[in-house]
Amino acid sequence: METVLNALALITDPYTLGVMALAAMFGLFVGAIPGLTATMATALLIPFTFFMDPVPAIAAIVATVATAIFAGDIPGALLRIPGTPASAAYCDEAYAMTKKGLAERALGIALVTSVIGGLAGSVVLSVSAPALAEFAIRFSSYEYFWLACLGLSCAVIISTGSTIKGFVSLLIGLFIATIGIDGTAGHPRFTFGSIELMGGVSFIPAMIGMFAISEVLRYVASTRTVIVVPQQSVGSIFSGLGAVLSKYKFNIIRGSSIGAVVGILPGAGADIAAWICYAISKKRSKEPEKFGTGHPEGLVDAGAANNASLAGAWVPAIVFGIPGDSITAIVIGVLYMKGMNPGPMVFIQNPELIYAVFIAFFIANLALLPLGFAAIRLSRQILRIPRRVLMPLILMFCMVGAFAINNTVFGITVMLVLGILAYLMEENGFPVAPAILGIVLGGMVEDNFMASMIKADGSLLGFFSRPIAATLGVITILLWLTPILAASWRYLHRHKNRPARLKSDP
Amino acid sequence: MRFNDSVFGVILVAFAIAEIAYTSTFPRLHGQDFGPDLFPIIIGAGLMLFGGVLIAKGWAQRFTQPMLVLGDWAHDSANVVNVVILLGSVVFYIAFSTWLGFIPTALVIQSVLLIRLGSSPLASITIAAISTMLIHTLFAKVLLVPLPWGLLLPVAW
């Protein structure tokens, strides 16, 4: 109890609350601008968190992300352009409501379900994380190695697009993580004599490059359509909302819980949670034919799901140090930077910090209600800010942010190289998320792998010598074999069916 | 810029071979037959495996997927210029910010980009000047990041 009170004191510090309020406004703004994502907002925020204490730093990220995911619904409903990928699943539905003259209803549903989903996710986080941490405290390097492998493999398999390209992306990330002084023998690897590279590829410039520079590149490299902001005025947001929400109260519960669970899975973030819940909503609906015509039901499910998944993603991040999505990948980097290495030990050494994170989630989601309301009111003004003015400004922030970490222009070079890499990867269907997780987890995977190898004296059987490690190992290997088995099954199936088809042909 | 998968496969396999070859320069751990080279070799082996699969896949699709499809930007030379200017301005910052100083460099980069992306020259220079001063105040004065003064050092405030 004392811990909770300490945590409460940490989070209700006026400085922390002030930072959270500013971060929430920043999140609403970035989320509402199409083409600027919640992950980009987090990446732009890290240079600032660098100069803060751990609690305000983490609280700022929590507030930014919670509001940005909701704000992505605003251009989705008004312009049919999702503000963040998390709103893409139901953007057509929300826009169809706007065309029926129900813009305020769509935005009201999005806001209230986001708040409820976010609060539900916060409950899941604060209940499951401490319980899991007690279990994780018994883990040794073998378990951590397998757990990281499992997390990374999940991220590859869940990521959109080709699994092979996902694995390539992951290996690229792991390779980037090996650059610098090696942990076992102290030998500089792949530095080619560069003193700057000896410390490794700095994480923050890498994130800024992969999430922000790549977006700016994509903006200037594509032929743009000018955004036309509708003149339609947004009426009363909350009138008649209660009836809709009580009609679909079961959907809110379903969307929130599925969203939180999807968030916990490594590699699956808010966007995937929204897609899954929208699809389930349609499948289970009594009136699926209304979906796509401006029907609020799917909006309720998916609107709650994407915000619920945000908190869910923090469960593996703080308990095991394995990020649930790209945003928590950045968070893990920030935690390491603050000397708060994520893992079960944090729950024993700094429990008040962990509880402060939980409370930050509740505060951020409650604050979303008034702030989100204000953002809806101001939506037309926000959407009118031209992106051609914002992009040079973002570029400048990126460069100064990448510089500020070590006060050398080398950070900007890292940012540029990884930004171009991320842009080329995305253009060619290589998902970027596995590479990010590879960069973040590479050091931990290798350290645990090498420690296990040394303990077992080079014997691979050592990796299966403990019951939990063996279970995790078997699951991981099965997961690796799944694509191969699926491909060969498809191949066999095709060959078995071909003669049959030929026979039936006249 | 979309390439056929086999192009990436070849690049990845070549990279992996070079990477694994380079690890032979790494020292061993005392009394163990593995060392800091082990993990990079595993990564290289993985890249070779998946690179090989991509070569096979891309080769099978070579009639439907050409070796290189240029993106939107290549059809519109304006976009090519945009990309060159954007990348050029980052390189310009890396090369000259220490000597020129943050304020002049940021002013030039932002003005050029704003004009290029379609704002009027007067508006561009005004916006660039305001945002440069804001960023400078925020980072150099509030967060105490030592942004370079460069040419403006004699009048530094």
Instruction: Write the CA distances from A405 to A14, A56, A329, A411, B149, integer angstroms.
Output: 26, 18, 18, 7, 18
Q: How far is A179 from chain B (nearest CA, A)?
A: 10
Average pLDDT over residues B84-108: 94
Cα gap A387→A108, rounded to integer Å: 26
Cα gap A391→A212, rounded to integer Å: 10
Give the pLDDT confidence score for residue A417 in this predicted structure: 95
Higher per-residue confidence, A224 vs A339:
A339
Neighbouring-strand partners of residue A181: A188
Q: Any chain B CB within 8 A of the CB of A223? A: yes
Q: How large is the greatest C-alpha to C-alpha distance in chain A, in angstroms?
A: 81
Share of chain B above pLDDT 70, in %: 96
Strands B2-3 and A180-181: unpaired
Task: Tell me whether residues B135 and A164 touch, CB distance under 8 A.
Answer: no
Closest Cβ opposite residue A167 in set B46, B98, B145: B46
What residues in A contact B40, CB-CB < 8 Å? Answer: 175, 178, 189-190
Q: Any chain B CB within 8 A of the CB of A22? A: no
Q: How far is A478 from chain B (nearest CA, A)?
A: 17
Higher per-residue confidence, A389 vs A160:
A389
What count of other Cβ atoms lies within 10 Å of the Cβ of residue A190? 19
Q: How far is A451 from chain B (nearest CA, A)?
A: 11
Torsion angle of alpha carbons A407, A409, A413, A419, nearest 10°? 60
Give the pLDDT confidence score for residue A504 in this predicted structure: 42
Interface test with B, best of A48, A153, A168 (most B CBs within 10 A): A168
> How would residue B73 be classed by pLDDT, with cut points 50, 70 and 90?
low
> How would residue A412 be classed by pLDDT, with cut points 50, 70 and 90?
very high
Cα gap A116→A109, rounded to integer Å: 10
Average pLDDT over residues A118-127: 94
Give the pLDDT confidence score for residue A307 in this predicted structure: 93
Share of chain A above pLDDT 70, in %: 95
Give the pLDDT confidence score for residue A237 in this predicted structure: 77
| ipTM confidence | 0.92
Task: Tell me whether residues B87 and A399 touch, CB distance under 8 A.
Answer: no
What residues in B contact A223, CB-CB < 8 Å? Answer: 72-73, 76, 79
The single-letter code of the amino acid at A80 is R
Give the pLDDT confidence score for residue B47 in this predicted structure: 94
A and B: number of Cβ contacts within 8 A: 156
> How would residue A503 be classed by pLDDT, with cut points 50, 70 and 90?
very low
Query: Which among B1, B103, B6 has a CA at the least distance from the CA of B54?
Result: B6
Most confident of A72-81, A90-99, B12-21: B12-21
Task: Tell me whether residues B117 and A164 touch, CB distance under 8 A.
Answer: no
Fill in the DSSP letter of residue B68.
Answer: E
Give the pLDDT confidence score for residue A386 in this predicted structure: 85
What residues in B contact A450, CB-CB < 8 Å? Answer: 38-39
What residues in A contact B87, CB-CB < 8 Å? Answer: 416, 420
> How would residue A209 be classed by pLDDT, with cut points 50, 70 and 90?
very high
Give the pLDDT confidence score for residue A506 in this predicted structure: 37
Give the pLDDT confidence score for residue A379 in this predicted structure: 86
Phi, psi at A42, each rounded to 5°: -65, -45
> How would residue A436 be classed by pLDDT, with cut points 50, 70 and 90?
confident
pTM of the model: 0.87
Give the pLDDT confidence score for residue A500 in this predicted structure: 47
Give the pLDDT confidence score for residue A302 in this predicted structure: 93
> How would residue B71 be classed by pLDDT, with cut points 50, 70 and 90?
low
Task: Tell me whether residues A388 and B114 touch, CB distance under 8 A.
Answer: yes
Could you give the 3-state DSSP secondary structure of residue B30?
A: coil
- CB–CB of B62/B5 below 8 Å? no
Cα gap A310→A86, rounded to integer Å: 11
Share of chain A above pLDDT 90, in %: 32
- Per-residue pLDDT tens for A449-466? 988 888 888 788 888 888
Continuous segment of H or E residues that includes residue A309:
helix A296-312
Give the pLDDT confidence score for residue A338 in this predicted structure: 82
Give the pLDDT confidence score for residue A233 in this predicted structure: 62
Asked if pLDDT for residue A344 goes beyond 90, the answer is no
Q: Any chain B CB within 8 A of the CB of A145? A: no
> How would residue A183 be classed by pLDDT, with cut points 50, 70 and 90?
confident
> How would residue A497 be classed by pLDDT, with cut points 50, 70 and 90?
low
Asked if pLDDT for residue A259 goes beyond 50, the answer is yes
- What the block records as the tokens of A128 is 């499951």
Cα gap A333→A301, rounded to integer Å: 31
Helices A433-455 and A163-178 pack at an angle, to 10 degrees, of 60
Asked if pLDDT for residue A169 goes beyond 90, the answer is yes
- CB–CB of B116/A24 below 8 Å? no
Task: Tell me whether residues A221 and B91 touch, CB distance under 8 A.
Answer: no
Could you give the 3-state DSSP secondary structure of residue A189?
A: strand
Q: A16: exposed, middle or buried (C-beta count within 10 Å: 0-12, 13-18, 19+)? A: buried
Q: What is the mean pLDDT of chain B?
A: 88
Angle at A364 between CA A208 and CA A278, to 5 degrees: 80
State the residue for tokens 């940490």.
A10
- CB–CB of A455/A141 below 8 Å? yes
> How would residue A496 be classed by pLDDT, with cut points 50, 70 and 90?
low
Instruction: Write the CA distances from A216 to A207, A423, A504, B103, integer angstroms.
Output: 14, 10, 55, 22
Give the pLDDT confidence score for residue A224 in this predicted structure: 64
Q: What is the mean pLDDT of chain A?
A: 87
Q: How far is A466 from chain B (nearest CA, A)?
A: 23
Q: Any chain B CB within 8 A of the CB of A184? A: yes
